[in-house]
């Protein structure tokens, strides 16, 4: 069976080259061809010796997930559905803005955390993605966008930022995610800054500590509630890792983080977590943590049981936070007309958990 070179970071490619009798510098050449140039044909790698190209063709492949569909919304948001075999699909989303282009990458087929307001969680969980399937999303998007991209002032490439906020909980697929992060940061591959690569987590505390030691990038924490009672219902992992312990992990992470703040994500659910009193409670909860609050208007999906908070409710909530001196933004809804908005990614998942769909009463507590 051929080896997929998309599974390897620099260290892995160096070991592979040694196994086929090649020197370490060949790994750097391969990284540049595969990731910088987006090349999957060994014969097109012109500065590799013919003998090496023949070895590579015999032993290896460069094989990203296959594209099932490709949709672009009127606002420029683009969503790819990619096949990862056995009838499963994952979704990847590109969000263009004036000064940057952000790619939202999935880390799992589905998600086992079952957050009440998330379409992906409603689909259940099948498996972790491999490195090739994670970095393959960036490989595909970079290739597709470069082919159609017209250079804009101040931006030399279409993808300037990565957010691990797609399908799945990245920190429960730790090793594959970190190897993928290494590739994103490698100057011979994608050369992104740690400040421009963000991992989002629902609060897997031991893995947060490991990430701080192994590959600290920007961190976003899905908070969504100002107290344990409500967060237990909305984000069930809170029952294992409650808020105070989570905030302690955030403080530890800041010791090595490339940014001097943690981003707390807070989805705005009408009549659930969006009152002025809850905003004041949130202020008391996070005021001693260097942080930014990102308020996310809920993006509806069928039978969710939740409604988006009104614009007035979001404004009132934001104003309480800002008056307390907390940096607060309201995320602009993008791509909801192609189900590419935050919380809407569902892909095609054959659920290994066989979890029955949760009722609205169970989800809301």
110 torsion bin: left (phi>0), alpha (psi -120 to 50), beta (else): left
The first and second tokens of residue 60, run together, are 């290896």
Q: Is 200 annotated as a binding residue?
A: yes
Which residue in the block uniquely carries the two structure tokens 């086992």? 112
Contact 299, 122 (CB under 8 A): no
**φ and ψ of 125, to 5 deg:** -135, 140
Q: Is 250 annotated as a binding residue?
A: no
Which residue in the block uniquely carries the two structure tokens 């970071």? 9
Q: Is 111 annotated as a binding residue?
A: yes
Q: Which helix (H) or strand (E) holds 56?
A: helix 50-59
Contact 218, 181 (CB under 8 A): no
The number of C-alpha atoms within 13 Å of 157 and in the hemisphere containing its C-beta is 15
Q: Is 35 annotated as a binding residue?
A: no
**How far does Cα 257 stand from its chain's mean position?**
17
Catalytic (active-site) positions:
91, 342
- Report how far residue 234's alpha carbon sits from residue 363's, in angstroms, rounded to the nearest whole number: 7
Q: Contacts for 36-40 with beta carbons within 8 Å, 24 or more apart?
A: 36/188, 36/189, 36/190, 38/139, 38/142, 38/143, 38/146, 40/64
309 torsion bin: left (phi>0), alpha (psi -120 to 50), beta (else): beta
Q: Which helix (H) or strand (E) holds 208?
A: helix 205-214
Contact 122, 357 (CB under 8 A): yes
Q: Is 147 annotated as a binding residue?
A: no
Q: Is 107 annotated as a binding residue?
A: no
Q: Is 104 annotated as a binding residue?
A: no
35 secondary structure, DSSP code = I
Q: Is 39 annotated as a binding residue?
A: no
- Report how far residue 218's alpha carbon sits from residue 104's, in angstroms, rounded to the nearest whole number: 14
Provide the annotated binding site for [4Fe-4S] cluster. 111, 115, 118
Provide the annotated binding site. 111, 115, 118, 168-169, 200, 222-224, 299
Provide the annotated binding site for S-adenosyl-L-methionine. 168-169, 200, 222-224, 299
């Amino acid at each position: 069976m051929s080896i997929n070179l998309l599974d390897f970071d620099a260290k892995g490619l160096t070991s592979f080259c040694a196994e086929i009798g090649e020197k370490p510098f060949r790994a750097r050449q391969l990284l540049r061809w595969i990731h910088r140039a987006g090349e999957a044909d060994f014969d097109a790698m012109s500065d590799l010796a013919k003998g090496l190209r023949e070895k590579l063709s015999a032993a290896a492949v460069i094989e990203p997930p296959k594209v099932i569909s490709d949709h672009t919304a009127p606002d420029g948001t683009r969503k790819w559905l990619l096949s990862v075999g056995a009838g499963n699909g994952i979704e990847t989303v590109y969000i263009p803005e004036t000064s940057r282009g952000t790619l939202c990458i999935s880390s799992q087929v589905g998600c086992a955390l079952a957050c009440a307001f998330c379409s992906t969680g409603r689909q259940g969980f099948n498996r972790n993605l491999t490195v090739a399937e994670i970095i393959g999303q960036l490989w595909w998007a970079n290739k597709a966008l470069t082919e159609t991209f017209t250079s804009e002032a101040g931006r030399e490439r279409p993808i300037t930022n990565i957010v691990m906020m797609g399908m799945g909980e990245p920190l429960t697929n730790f090793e594959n995610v970190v190897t993928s992060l290494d590739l994103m940061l490698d100057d011979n591959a994608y050369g992104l800054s740690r400040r421009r690569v963000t991992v989002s987590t629902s609060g897997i505390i031991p893995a947060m500590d490991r990430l701080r030691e192994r590959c600290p990038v920007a961190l976003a924490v899905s908070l969504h509630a100002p107290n344990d009672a409500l967060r237990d219902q909305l984000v069930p992992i809170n029952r294992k890792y409650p808020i105070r312990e989570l905030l302690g992990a955030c403080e530890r992470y800041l010791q090595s983080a490339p940014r001097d703040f943690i981003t707390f994500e807070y989805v705005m659910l009408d009549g659930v977590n969006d009152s002025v009193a809850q905003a004041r409670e949130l202020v008391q909860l996070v005021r001693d943590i260097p942080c930014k609050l990102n308020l996310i208007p809920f993006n509806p999906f069928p039978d969710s049981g939740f409604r988006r908070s009104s614009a007035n409710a979001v404004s009132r909530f934001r104003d309480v936070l800002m008056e307390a001196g907390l940096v607060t933004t309201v995320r602009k809804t993008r791509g909801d007309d192609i189900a590419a908005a935050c919380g809407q990614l569902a892909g095609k998942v054959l659920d290994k958990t066989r979890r029955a769909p949760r009722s609205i009463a169970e989800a809301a507590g």
